[in-house]
Amino acid sequence: MSFTGKYQLQSQENFEAFMKALGLPDEQIQKGKDIKSISEIVQDGKKFKVTVTTGTKVLHNEFTIGEECEIEMLTGEKVKAIVQMEGNNKLVANLKGLKSVTELNGDTIINTLTMGDLTYKRISKRI
How do residues 84-107 score in pLDDT, each as one tens digit? Answer: 999 999 999 998 889 999 999 999
Q: Which residues neighbour 123 within 8 Å (Cβ) at sequence distance 6 or greater? A: 9, 10, 11, 12, 108, 109, 110
CATH class label, 5-126: mainly beta
For the chain, which residues make up each domain, given as ranges?
Answer: 5-126
β-bridge mates for residue 121, sequence order: 13, 112
Which of 29-33, 46-50, 121-125 is predicted least confidently? 29-33
Over the chain, what is the mean pLDDT? 93
The one-letter code for the residue type at 26 is D
Which tens digit of pLDDT belongs to each residue from 34-61?
Answer: 888 999 999 999 999 999 998 888 999 9
pTM for the model stands at 0.91
